Amino acid sequence: MTDTRAPGVAIDSLNERQGTAPSQLHITDSSQDDQVADPGIGISSEAHSLPPVDGGIQAWTFLAAAWFVEAITFGFGFSFGIFLDYYGSHEPFAGSGAIAAIGTTTSLIGAQGILFGIGGCIAYCPSTLYVDEWFDRRKGLAYGIVWSAAGAGGVAIPFLLQVLLDSLGFRNTMRVWAGVIFALAIPLTWFVRPRLPHHAARHSKPLLMRFAVSKRFLLYQAANIVLATGFFLPGIYLPAMTRETAGTSDFMSALTLMLINATCTIGLVAMGLMSDRLQVTTCTLISASGAAVSVLLIWGFSTSLVGVYVFCALFGLFAGSWTATWPGIMREIAQNGERDGYGLADPVMVQGHLCVGRGLGNVVSGPLSYALIQASPWKGRTGGGYGTGYGGLILYAGLTALSGVVPFVGKLIGLVYLGGITEGNVHLCSTSSNEEYLSKHAATPALSIV
């Protein structure tokens, strides 16, 4: 039978007919097959041949391949503190204060900055965007696992890069690592593939971005951008800071990054699990408050190397888990379009906007950090980390971490309404409003909201 309510739309309506809230809302492409096998369930005949969601060898193989791609690309990016330490003490970069903005020469800016950023993004996008197709109920966990790879790669890669830099210099180190990325990543691309077949209608849908100017999304995005301007600073400066203040060896300096990245891996997986079960504002509160406490109290007042290592572990655990709150944000934005008046929102586009916001914060943090270190307002005037010459940077990183509590505060004061019917991973206003919305937008091209 054909679903006559809207072409290109298949909806789980069995529960609606029974007077209960639907378990899921799916808007899928049926331009090439608008026959529905069961009108009460809304499953197209093509769905019978699709791999299972949330499990099965293909889903877990995809997740493993995506994890390794993420590890070998962004694990390198998470290791930049090693390069900063090296560039600051070796020619021709020694003494340059602009290294944090990725280099003082055109070659560094182009290769380790722009080209790596573009290449990493191309490798990163399929690894994360297809998660939305392979996982539903475990989506938060799946995203947390994939994103944890950067932290896991950041545990081993800094030590490897330190050995290569000491023995080969930075030019040959770059060449060796480029070969490693190519040799390991190319075979993995075979497994990083979508679950759904290619449909022209599905891939030619308009960009649904009205959500980007909604009060709800702007609240999350503002916190996301501000937090990003301070998140990357500890990883960039800690190796150099420990060498300057404690005279540590190469390994003990690199250990700061290893600890951040190791606990970041744990934090992302744990937060992914929580984002499947808790309100997203609760998740952002946990991540942001834990990060702020670790920076302002532990790093700021630390007087020993042990204290710095404790900070690294806690900062990675809490601040590193921030991106694992994104699946919750994606879900909330996608499910409140009717209530907030911005209509349908593709969760993948929500993630894209969050990535752009985090990227902007990262770009700003480079030159900003240089200005913070140059100021050094409390150097030699107070104890702990605040008196090392990095005091301004520490204070800024801690205060920006606090920005992550803004969505929770917004919920408390009623800036955004987060109520409604919640069942599993679905947060809907009412059955009737969903039905009414679909009838108004029958021609809307395909996307999936879960």
d(CA 79, CA 403): 25
Strands 36-38 and 43-44: antiparallel
Tokens encoding 397? 């990183």
Tokens encoding 163? 């050995």
What are the residues whose beta carbons fall under 8 Å from the beta carbon of 13, sequence distance 6 or more? Answer: 22, 39, 40, 42
pTM for the structure as a whole: 0.69
In 10 A of CB 90, how many CB atoms? Answer: 12
What are the residues whose beta carbons fall under 8 Å from the beta carbon of 117, sequence distance 6 or more? Answer: none
Question: Residue type for 7, please?
Answer: P
Query: How do residues 233-274 score in pLDDT, each as one tens digit?
Result: 998 889 888 988 888 887 888 889 889 988 998 999 899 889
Find, among 376, 344, 382, the residue nearest to 214 by Cα. Answer: 344
DSSP state of 296: I
Question: Residue type for 140, please?
Answer: G
Asked which of 5-9, 240-244, 347-351 is least confident by mean pLDDT, the reply is 5-9
Q: Are 447 and 349 in contact (CB under 8 A)?
A: no
Classify 1 as helix, strand or coil: coil
d(CA 228, CA 336): 26
pLDDT score of 126 more than 90: no
Query: How do residues 362-416 score in pLDDT, each as one tens digit?
Result: 888 878 888 888 877 788 788 888 988 899 999 999 999 999 999 998 888 876 6
d(CA 280, CA 404): 11
Residues 310-329, mean pLDDT to the nearest whole number:
93
Query: How do residues 276-306 score in pLDDT, each as one tens digit?
Result: 889 999 999 999 999 999 999 999 999 899 9
Question: What is residue 96's predicted lDDT score, i.e. its pLDDT?
Answer: 53
d(CA 356, CA 268): 19
What are the residues whose beta carbons fall under 8 Å from the beta carbon of 74, sequence distance 6 or more? Answer: 120, 124, 149, 150, 153
Burial-class residue 91 by CB neighbours within 10 Å (0-12, 13-18, 19+): exposed
Question: What is residue 106's predicted lDDT score, i.e. its pLDDT?
Answer: 57
- What is the gyration radius of the CA atoms in the chain, in angstroms? 24
